């Protein structure tokens, strides 16, 4: 099976700022990949490169094509949504349907209308008259009616409360994802997408610091609750991160044998948010200037 996205030494400079520095990764069909990183880490820049919206250095193949040359062709197979909370306020619901039908050759209007019929949204309403939750539903109706092989979502739930964020991802998974499609999503809110991802990539200051299947994360990372008396022994085992919790020390280890860790205390599988904090470590998250 060939990769949907294949990047090799993908780099991008904005003047002297190195927004992406030499990313290598592959995304396979049927995966749901979270590209996770703090502000300014390079997430949007990476997506823009994939969508052919910005120039870059290095090699990038999206469904076998170079996005620099085949942007129009790619747009037939790719659906891109940035930030569901921002549809123009003056736009009426039927106009949104008309617009997407006009610009996207793979938009199935009946499917979108059927989804909307299950909501309280009336077709003659303006976006400005809808609640945020309704706007999310409208966006979902538009996304889910596009028969795209690759769906790229940039911070799709920004500005929504937790209930709507959860509903958004539930719909995406239950009503859209079918195992053949591929979803690439960026977010800061790691915890709430943890359960839907098949793969996770962490980006920091323009570099990938983790690229792993969700299934193999527990093999790679372990969290150990250590009594103060054993804390120094734990520190000798090169933990990725340490924090205090109710008088005990919680250490996060990468690639350390569990038999040895078991001597220090109770072992748990860390959540993705804890791994994220540990991997981000110290140092700037935003890309720095190129040294001359
Ligand atoms: N058009 C631009 N011109 C100059 N610098 C830019 C431009 N776009 C992004 N950058 C810089 O590139 C780096 C990466 O930005 P990018 O928007 O990709 O980060 P991000 O991870 O998406 O951040 P956020 O989570 O805040 O949206 C930052 O240092 C940013 O200031």
DSSP string, 253-279: EES--HHHHHTTEEEEPPPHHHHHHHH
Regarding whether 160 and 22 lie in a shared domain, the answer is yes
Cβ neighbours of residue 11 closer than 8 Å, sequence gap 6 or more: 18, 20, 21, 22, 23, 56, 57, 58
Provide residues with CB under 6 Å of ligand 1: 14, 17, 19, 37, 39-45, 286-287
Tell me: do 73 and 197 sit in the same domain: yes
Tell me the CA–centroid distance for residue 46 and ligand 1, in Å: 10
Cα 39 to ligand 1 centroid, rounded to whole Å: 8
Q: What is the pLDDT along the chain (292 residues), one digit of tens a residue?
A: 689 999 999 999 999 899 999 999 999 999 999 999 988 999 999 999 999 989 999 999 999 999 998 888 888 888 887 765 567 889 999 999 999 899 888 899 999 999 899 888 999 999 999 987 788 788 888 888 988 889 998 888 777 778 878 888 888 888 778 888 999 999 877 888 888 899 999 999 999 999 999 999 999 999 999 999 999 999 999 999 999 888 889 999 999 999 999 999 999 999 999 999 999 886 666 666 655 4
Residues 91 and 50 grouped into a single domain: yes
Examine residue 291 and state whether it is found in any structural domain, yes or no: no
Rounded to 10 degrees, the C-alpha dihedral 255/259/265/266 comes to 80
Of 205, 236, 254, the position where a domain reaches its end is 205
Using DSSP's 3-state secondary structure scheme, residue 165 falls into helix
- Determine how many CB atoms are found less than 10 A away from the CB of residue 283: 8
Contact at 8 Å (CB) between 183 and 151? yes
Check whether residue 275 and residue 224 sit in a common domain.
Answer: yes
- Tell me the residue range of the domain where 249 lies: 217-280
Residues 225 and 245 in one domain: yes
Bridge partners (DSSP) listed for residue 80? 152
Q: Please tell me whether residues 232 and 182 are part of one structural domain.
A: no
Q: Using CA positions, which residue lies closest to atom 28 of ligand 1? A: 40
Contact by Cβ (8 Å): 201, 211: yes
Q: Is residue 33 part of a domain?
A: yes
Q: What is the residue with the minimal CA distance to atom 30 of ligand 1?
A: 40
Does residue 276 share a domain with residue 161?
no
- Domain co-membership, 127 together with 259: no
If asked whether residues 84 and 181 sit together in one domain, one would say yes
Q: Counting every residue, how long is the chain?
A: 292
- Cα 52 off chain centre by: 18
ipTM, two decimals: 0.96
Specify the DSSP element, H or E, that contains 170: helix 162-171
Structural domain contains residue 288:
no
Q: How far apart are CA 270 and CA 276, in angstroms?
A: 10
- 57 & 82 share domain: yes
Tell me if 289 is assigned to some domain: no
User: Mutation test of ligand 1: which of 45, 86, 154, 202 has the most ligand atoms closer than 8 Å to its C-beta?
Assistant: 45
Are residues 104 and 19 part of one domain? Answer: yes
């Amino acid at each position: 099976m060939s990769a949907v996205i294949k990047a090799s030494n993908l780099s991008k400079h904005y003047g002297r700022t190195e927004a992406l520095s030499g990313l290598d990764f592959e995304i396979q069909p049927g995966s749901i990949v979270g590209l996770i990183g703090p502000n300014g880490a390079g997430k949007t820049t990476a997506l823009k490169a994939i969508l052919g919206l910005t120039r870059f250095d290095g090699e990038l193949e999206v469904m076998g094509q170079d996005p620099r040359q085949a942007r129009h062709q790619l747009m037939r197979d790719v659906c891109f949504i940035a930030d569901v909370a921002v549809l123009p306020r003056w736009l009426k619901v039927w106009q949104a349907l008309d617009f997407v039908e006009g610009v996207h050759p793979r938009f199935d209007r009946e499917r979108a209308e059927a989804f909307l019929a299950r909501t309280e949204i009336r077709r003659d309403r303006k976006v400005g008259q809808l609640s945020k939750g309704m706007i999310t539903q409208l966006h979902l109706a538009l996304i889910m009616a596009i028969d795209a092989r690759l769906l790229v979502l940039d911070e799709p739930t920004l500005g929504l409360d937790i209930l709507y964020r959860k509903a958004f991802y539930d719909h995406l998974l239950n009503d859209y994802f079918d195992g053949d499609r591929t979803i690439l999503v960026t977010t800061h809110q790691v915890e709430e997408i943890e359960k839907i991802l098949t793969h996770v990539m962490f980006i920091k200051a323009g570099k990938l610091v983790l690229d792993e299947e969700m299934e193999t994360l527990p093999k790679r990372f372990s969290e150990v609750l250590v009594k103060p008396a054993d804390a120094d022994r734990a520190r000798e085992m090169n933990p990725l991160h340490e924090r205090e919790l109710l008088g005990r020390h919680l250490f996060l280890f990468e690639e350390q044998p569990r038999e040895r860790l078991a001597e220090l205390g109770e072992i748990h599988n860390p959540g993705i948010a804890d791994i994220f904090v540990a991997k981000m470590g110290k140092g700037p998250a935003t890309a720095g200037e190129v040294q001359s």
